[in-house]
Amino acid sequence: MIIHTRSACLSLFLLIVASPSLLFATEKSSATILVDDALTTPGQPATVEAKLISKRLMLIAALGGELLELVVDGKVVATALTGGDGRAVFTYTQKAQGLVSAQVRVGKSPRVNQAEGQANLAVWEKRQPILMIELSSLFEEPPPSRVPPLGITPQSERKPMAEAADELGKLTQFYYKVIYVVTPSVGVDGFQKSAEARSWLQRHKFPQGYILVLPSDPTAVGAKIDEFHADGWKTVKVGIGRSHAFAEAFLQRRLEAILVPEPAKGEVPRKAKVARNWKEVRKKL
């Protein structure tokens, strides 16, 4: 009898391993949808990418084979299936210019609960002037302390520099469009970094813009500037940043670079402008 019982248990275990969906056939997974911003011009198709991630422990994070819907102004404008990596790619054309709020949500699914992610679709004319802003240039400098900091302060907990949101709001109200440049830490997914940056900017009331996630490679910013120019975005010619590498990417292409806050003496790249705070940035443009 014991032998038969063990055999039955082993058979059930093997069946679950081979078909884990049987174990959760009546229970849907909770999920998160992360969406990257997209950039295009009026009347031209934009590519919107999203990623569906399961919240269930002990299972694969990415969810493949699920139908996602792209929603704009309350209407489903495109659908796509997630691949094995949980990613889905949509194509959508917006005729009117502006910054459009887009949502990606789970369609009808027997496996996944309803979830929704949000992103911005920047539909801009190529003649409009654009500022590329390194997100770290918006962060307040931590106060000096005799006690060494324990680890690195998460981006979500960083405070903005005084008047940064107000000054940037004045710059973007009637004239400039803004691209926020963020770089994920090692091991951090780019989709996650984009969502964190969007949340931080909204929480601190910064003007909305296009969030661009680039790798930590020091040549990445310059390569992206070249790509913008090759695609006709010639007005991408001013960079406001905090790092030496960010400023150099613009200066090497004979473009304008402003560093804020003012770096230590001797760390300013040749021909770069400096601003002690964001109130001075407008005077440098």
Q: What is the DSSP string of 51-108?
A: EEEE--TTS-SB--S-EEEEEETTEEEEEEE--TTSEEEEEEE--S-EEEEEEEEE-S
Across the chain, mean pLDDT equals 86
Over 70: is that where the pLDDT of 13 sits? no
Instruction: Name the residue with higher pLDDT: 174 or 132.
Output: 132
C-beta separation of 139 from 102 below 8 A: no
Per residue in 232-278, pLDDT (tens digit) is 999 999 999 999 999 999 999 999 999 999 887 777 888 999 999 99
Q: Helix (H, G, I), strand (E, B), or coil: what is residue 142? A: coil
Considering the chain, tell me which residue range(s) the CATH 3.40.50.1000 domain(s) occupy.
Answer: 130-140+153-284
Query: What is the pLDDT, as a whole number, of residue 186?
Result: 67
Over 90: is that where the pLDDT of 145 sits? no
Instruction: Name the residue with higher pLDDT: 152 or 129.
Output: 129
% of the chain at pLDDT higher than 90: 67
Query: What is the pLDDT, as a whole number, of residue 27?
Result: 73
Q: Cite the beta strand spans of the chain per DSSP E.
A: 31-35, 38-40, 45-54, 67-72, 75-81, 87-93, 98-106, 116-123, 130-134, 177-182, 210-213, 236-241, 256-259, 273-274
Residue 160 makes CB contacts below 8 A (sequence gap 6+) with 138, 139, 140, 204, 206
CA-to-CA dists, residue 230 to 186, 222, 225, 234, angstroms: 30, 12, 9, 8
Give the position of tokens 């038969």: 4
Q: Residue 16: enclosing H or E segment and its boundaries? A: helix 2-18
Considering the chain, tell me which residue range(s) the CATH 2.60.40.10 domain(s) occupy.
Answer: 31-123
Over 50: is that where the pLDDT of 24 sits? no
Query: What is the pLDDT, as a whole number, of residue 243?
Result: 93
Give the position of tokens 């963020």: 182
Q: What is the mean pLDDT of residues 6-26?
A: 47
Query: What is the pLDDT, as a whole number, of residue 154?
Result: 58
Query: Any idea which of 53-57, 204-208, 219-223 has the lowest mean pLDDT?
Result: 53-57
% of the chain at pLDDT higher than 70: 83
Neighbours of 115 (CB within 10 A): 20
Over 50: is that where the pLDDT of 19 sits? no
CA distance 184 to 123: 25
* pTM, full prediction: 0.85
C-beta separation of 89 from 48 below 8 A: yes
Query: What is the pLDDT, as a whole number, of residue 185?
Result: 74
Q: What is the mean pLDDT of residues 97-125?
A: 93
Query: What is the pLDDT, as a whole number, of residue 188?
Result: 73
Q: Are strands 87-93 and 45-54 parallel, antiparallel or unpaired?
A: antiparallel
Which CATH architecture best describes the domain 31-123? Sandwich (2.60)
C-beta separation of 29 from 112 below 8 A: yes
Instruction: Name the residue with higher pLDDT: 266 or 209.
Output: 209
CATH class entry, domain 130-140+153-284:
alpha beta
Per residue in 32-72, pLDDT (tens digit) is 999 999 999 999 999 999 999 987 654 546 788 999 999 99
Q: What is the mean pLDDT of residues 76-93?
A: 95
Query: What is the pLDDT, as a whole number, of residue 89?
Result: 97
Q: What is the mean pLDDT of residues 227-233?
A: 97
Q: What is the distance in angstroms between the CA of the first residue and the CA of the last residue of the chain?
A: 85
CA distance 125 to 129: 9
Nearest Cα to Cα of residue 77 among 54, 109, 100, 61: 100
Nearest Cα to Cα of residue 248 among 266, 270, 230, 280: 270
Query: Any idea which of 13-17, 102-106, 254-258, 270-274 has the lowest mean pLDDT?
Result: 13-17
DSSP secondary structure letter of residue 277: S
